Amino acid sequence: MGQFWAYKNSNPATCAQYPYLLDIQSDLLSGLRTTIAIPLTPSKTVASMSLSRLNPVFVLDDESFTAMTQDIAGVDRNLLGAQAYDLSAYRSDIIAAVDFVLSGI
C-alpha cells in the first residue's frame, strides 16, 4: 500500500464508473484497516462539470481520468484491487484538491 497510488477498483458495482481508487492516506497510518481514497472516473463522463482545482486530471495509459475529490471515502484496504499507477508526481495537485474540498481555498 502506498500514498498517492491508484488501485484498481475491485467492487463490481462501482468499477465501471470508478475504475481506480486513489489512496491518499499517509503511509504512517498503514496499519489501519481502512484508508482514505478518491475515486477516479473517465474524464469523458464528467468533463463539462469538473472544476480544475477540485478535480485534477491524470492521464493513465493514454486515457484521462478525473479525481472526484468531492466523493472521497474510507475504504477497507482488503477491498482495494491491484496497485496500478504511482501518482506521487501529482502530490501537490492532489493535496490542493483535498484542501479545496475541506476549506474552499
**Centroid of chain to Cα 56:** 10
CA separation for the pair 9, 54 (Å, rounded): 21
Q: For the chain, what is the mean pLDDT?
A: 92
Q: Give kind and range of the element (H or E) at residue 93.
A: helix 91-103
Q: Which of these CATH numbers, 3.40.50.11260, 3.30.70.1110, 1.10.8.60, 2.30.30.110, describes 5-103?
A: 2.30.30.110
Domain coordinates in residue numbering, the chain: 5-103
pLDDT at residue number 4: 97
pTM: 0.92
Burial environment of residue 56 by CB neighbours within 10 A (0 to 12, 13 to 18, 19 or more) = buried
Residue-wise pLDDT for 64-92, tens only, equals 999 999 999 999 998 899 999 999 999 99
CA separation for the pair 46, 86 (Å, rounded): 23
Contact residues for 89 (Cβ-Cβ < 8 A; gap 6+):
none
